Structure 1
Amino acid sequence: MDRDLHAARDLVAGLAERAGRLQLDRRGTLRVGAPKAHVNDVVSDVDIASEQLIVDAIRAAWPDDAVQAEEGHGRDGTSGWTWIVDPLDGTRNYISRTGPWSVCIALRQQDQLRMAVVHEPVAGETFSAIDGGGAFLNGGPLVAPAGVPLEKALVGVSFQPNPATKERAARVVRELLPVVGDIRRLPAALNLVYQAAGRLDGGLALDTFLWDIAAGALIAREAGIVLGGHGPDFSTELTIGAAPSLWPELSERVRAAA
């Protein structure tokens, strides 16, 4: 069974923006819970409230769909469609007030990503994409530029802050920093959509979860960013993105170190 992906995109973009407003309104009164997988894996009551808002609305609109959600509000479905939800990608930035974060929602039919939304609350920017239908920023078309030489490239770096992944990230940064223009550490979804918007020339993400990268990956791909890792597509272990002219050299450098 197919569905109207444009209508779905518009509905969940509104949900993401509502969650973003909640996050801005409650930032001064948030409560941080116990760490999850490791000491740097933090969660707040705002993460949980944001996910509840999004998942409740998705269940009401599409009761037969499955949901994969970071903070535990997932469920099985029978329709063959799955919603992938990260209600607050970049919780550490949000809590510490040291950088951007986003609300991420993607829709997958079987194993194919079909629609995605990434909303950045502070900037009021909503990135979106429809499979085969292009990428958008606040409703306007989004096409990544061709790229720059490696020595001028601004490269985003994203990774889970557990001890083993930090060791991997350190190897990659040691390899890249002398040969690129500069690097930026960002949450994975914003890393990918900033490539789509031409704010970054390339980027990589190490040891993420599907909800961290699914929405951003579809938006980047639809804007013309080349994606891959140790295989021909994005993966939770390693995702490399770059403008087409930069891809061969950047991906070679990252794969050698990661």
Structure 2
Amino acid sequence: MNTYETELRHAADIAREVGEYQRRAQKEIGRIHIKEDSSPVTEVDTTCENIIYRALSRAFPEDGFFGEEGGIRAGTSGRRWIVDPIDGTRPYIRGIPTYSTLIALEDHGEITVGVVNLPALGECYTARLGGGAFCNDTPISVSNTSSLEAAMGAFLGTVETAREPRGKKLFSLMEHIDYPYGFMDAYTYMAVASGKLDLAVGMIDFPWDRASAAIIVKEAGGKCTDSLNKETIYGDTFILSNKKIHPEIVPYLK
């Protein structure tokens, strides 16, 4: 049985290496392009993804690759690495320290390894299937909040979905928690994993935004599902919680 220790070690080392490059390159970011979804991409984004792809290809040549900037490269192993080289490009451009590098391994449809490295904060979150979740090698766990009305959460997509039925459902949920907090990219999801937040909901993010968070939150004792309560990173909505309040959250978003 694969414990994924080797895969996690490689992914974490690569993420830290890329993080060091990001901090150096931030002084001269270079050209900024606007993608079709109106999000920015820099030369640093593409360089980082290329570094990650080459490193993972050397270590695991039979694995596939699914990157935000470069798309899908097929493999033969039934596994693929899901990567966001810079999650939070806008914060990165503006010098806000919540940007990160996300690397996850999907093995025959199951996320088994996750790394979220926040170089500006000096925090690297890691998890492997069955191995627990950690920040800088210190174990982390989700909160113990047991009711929605006492919960603190963060939400992505409130503006973009405000006029849609699912956006109205999201606002209904927000009205029933203790305090809705601003969304800060993958750092928000790690705040759920480490017990700082009790829940987070992403309405407009992508699989590469979700994959690492899914395994880290799960291994920290939490739960991640879509609006139908299915454990997937490919649904219309991404719901993360400390598990205790998950049954209260899902009905608002169905």
In structure 2, C-alpha distance between the alignment counterparts of 1:172 and 1:93, rounded to whole Å: 28
User: 1:146, 1:244 within 8 Å by CA — same for their partners in 2?
Assistant: no
How many residue pairs get matched?
251
The corresponding residue for 1:35 is: 34
In the alignment, the residues of structure 2 paired with residue 183 and residue 16 of structure 1 have an alpha-carbon distance, to the nearest angstrom, of 30
Judged with a 3 Å threshold, the aligned counterparts in structure 2 of structure 1 residues 191 and 149 are, in CA distance, closer, same or farther, namely: same
Instruction: Give the superposition deviation at 1:124.
Output: 1.0
* CA deviation string 1:135-161 (max 9, x = no partner): 111112222122253233210212498
Counterparts of 1:148 and 1:31 in 2: how far apart (Å)?
47
- What is the DSSP-based 3-state SS (H/G/I as helix, E as strand, rest coil) of the residue aligned with 1:43? strand
Q: Residues 203 and 241 of structure 1 are in contact (CA less than 8 Å); yes or no, is this contact kept in structure 2? A: yes
User: Does the 8 Å contact 2:98/2:185 carry over to 1?
Assistant: no
Shift of the alpha carbon at 1:102?
1.1
Of stretches 108-117 and 29-38 in structure 1, the one that deviates more from structure 2 is 29-38
Determine the structure 2 residue equivalent to 1:246.
245
Aligned to 2:70: 72
Aligned pairs for 1:32-71 within 5 A: 32-39=31-38, 41-71=39-69
Q: 1:160·1:208 contact (CA, 8 Å) conserved in 2?
A: no
Output the amino acid matched with 2:79. W
Q: Compute the displacement of 1:14 (Å).
A: 1.1
On the 8 A contact 2:133/2:219 being kept in 1, the answer is yes
3-state DSSP class of the match of 1:68?
A: strand
Within a 5 Å distance, the mapping from 1:81-120 to structure 2 comes to 81-98=79-96, 100-120=98-118
Structure 2 letter corresponding to 1:38: D
Partner residue in 2 for 1:191: 188
Distance 1:170 1:28 in 2: 38
- Residue 101 of structure 2 contacts residue 116 of structure 2 at CA under 8 Å; is this kept in 1? yes
Measure the CA separation in 2 of the matches of 1:59 and 1:70: 17
Query: In structure 2, the residue corresponding to 1:67 is in which secondary structure?
Result: strand
5+ residue gaps, structure 2, are none
Aligned-residue offset at 1:172: 4.8
8 Å CA contact 2:97–2:120 kept in 1: the answer is no
1:211 is matched with which residue: 204, 208, 211?
Answer: 208
CA distance in 1, matches of 2:122, 2:71: 26
Deviations 1:193-223 (A, max 9, x none): 2111001110101132111100111110111
Higher mean Cα deviation, 236-245 or 193-202? 236-245
Kept after mapping to 1: 8 A contact 2:29/2:43: yes
Deviation of 1:188 after TM superposition, in Å, equals 4.8
8 Å contact from structure 1 (residues 55, 73) kept in 2:
no
Query: Structure 1 CA distance, aligned partners of 2:110 and 2:141?
Result: 21
- Structure 2 letter corresponding to 1:27: Q
Task: Say whether the 8 Å CA contact 1:159–1:188 is kept in structure 2.
Answer: no
- Structure 1 window deviating more from structure 2 (236-245 vs 194-203): it is 236-245
SS at match of 1:143: coil
Tell me whether 1:22 sits opposite 2:21 in the alignment.
yes
Question: C-alpha separation between the residues in 2 aligned to 1:166 and 1:123?
Answer: 32
Q: Using structure 1 for the length normalisation, give the TM-score.
A: 0.88
Query: What are structure 1's unaligned runs of at least 5 residues?
Result: none
In structure 2, give the amino acid aligned to 1:247: H
TM-score by length of 2: 0.89
Instruction: Determine the C-alpha separation between the residues in 2 that align with 1:89 and 1:166.
Output: 23
Q: Distance in 1 between matches of 2:227 and 2:4?
A: 31
Q: 1:18 Cα deviation (Å)?
A: 1.1
Whether the 8 Å CA contact 2:98–2:186 is kept in 1: the answer is no
Helix, strand or coil for the counterpart of 1:119? strand
Correspondence 1:214-233 to 2 at 5 A: 214-231=211-228, 232-233=230-231
CA distance in 1, matches of 2:5, 2:240: 26
176, 179, 184: which is aligned to 2:176? 179
Q: Deviations over 1:60-92 (max 9, x none)?
A: 111111100111164211111111111111111
